[in-house]
Amino acid sequence: MTARLVDIAEQSGFSEATVSRVLNGKAGVAVATREAVLAALDVLGGHERPSRPRSRSGGLIGLITPELVTPIFPALAQVIAQALTRQGYTLVFGTQTPGGSTEDELTEMLVDRGVSGIIFVSGVHADSTADMERYQALRNRGIPYVLVNGFSPRVRATFISADDRTAVHLAVTHLASLGHTRIGLAVGPRRFVPALRKIEGFSLAIQELLSLSAEESEELVAQSLCTLEGGQSAAATLVDRGCTAIICASDMMALGAIRAVRERNLEVPRDISVVGFDDSPLNAFTDPPLTTIRQPIHEMGHAAVQALLEEVGGTSVPRTEFVFMPDLVVRGSTASGLRFRVPRRSSAGPSERRA
């Protein structure tokens, strides 16, 4: 009599879904799991052993990113694709869109395609409130992966990150050197690790360079979406709070900040200085050219590929975070903060710098 899936699942200790994947010869099942299911099958009998699954070493690597509106994501994807091509691998690309596939659905699609491993960029792992069990489950299935931007101590994996704290410190230092004493930060929701780290770096820099308290620095932070509209909204709030310079968590937010400044009949950088984050390729051609923090995407992309391919090849890789240093690229959207003063709410804090 043919054993049922439920019987094999009970005998092996794995789910019916996993048993089904083994019986149908699909990829995405760890070797130990497959052998346990086959052993249960031998005990119960009634099924022929399935053929070996399609090997995951066939040259496919998965990449999952958020939307592609933010220029940093397609730029990083291009770096990763080029690095993989040089190593003889082909990229299988999945991107999340509003109302489209979720990260979990894209992951299943990639596993079904027989990828050797997956690189996740700014994914669920970056949300400190999210359930991280999905990554352990993927590991249990024998799929190597690397996580980019968004460290979580709850996931034992290789992480590749830009140093968000240092990045914002560089921007604050630049603006303070221009004479700005009221600097704001437009950033995404605090539950996301990159946003939280930017806020931490901002608070430390403000306290160190402008002698403001932690409470005063918190007033200079406006959280919104990392979009053009989000930057516009956050910048409007910061201008109303008397800021003469605004650091944004993305270049898209910075473009929104410039729009908000102009809606108030002010000019960038004459009245308000604006700093972006990422260094999109078109920043040198915006009006004005955008001062920004440059993420080292070439170094980060190559490091992610190297770490993943080492694990695919059976080499043990460190379950830790590799942090890469950003650069400040100064262009035309920042200028002296002594030309224009928005009245401050409080007289507390250091005296204004003099030229």
Tell me the per-residue pLDDT of 252-283, one tens digit each, with 9 for 90 and over: 999 999 999 999 999 999 999 999 999 988 88
Q: What is the chain's mean pLDDT, rounded?
A: 87
Which tokens is 237 given? Answer: 């709030």
CATH code of 164-295, in short, is: 3.40.50.2300
- Judge residue 278's burial from the number of C-beta atoms within 10 Å of its C-beta, 0-12 exposed, 13-18 middle, 19 or more buried: buried
The region of weakest confidence among 134-143, 162-171, 308-317 is: 308-317
Task: Tell me yes or no: is domain 60-162+297-325 CATH 3.40.50.720.
Answer: no
Q: Is the dihedral of CA 248, 77, 71, 97 positive or negative?
A: negative
Residue 107 C-alpha from the chain's centroid: 17
Q: Please give the residue that has the higher pLDDT: either 251 or 314.
A: 251
Q: Do 60-162+297-325 and 164-295 have matching folds?
A: yes
Query: At residue 108, what is the residue type?
Result: E
**Element holding 239 (H helix, E strand):** helix 228-240
Residue 347 C-alpha from the chain's centroid: 38
Tell me the per-residue pLDDT of 156-172, one tens digit each, with 9 for 90 and over: 999 999 999 999 999 99
Q: What are the residue boundaries of the structural domains of the chain, listed by start?
A: 5-44, 60-162+297-325, 164-295
Tell me the per-residue pLDDT of 59-69, one tens digit each, with 9 for 90 and over: 899 999 988 78
Q: What is the DSSP letter of 44?
A: H
- Give the three-class secondary structure for 164: helix
Q: How far apart are CA 266 and CA 298, in angstroms?
A: 36
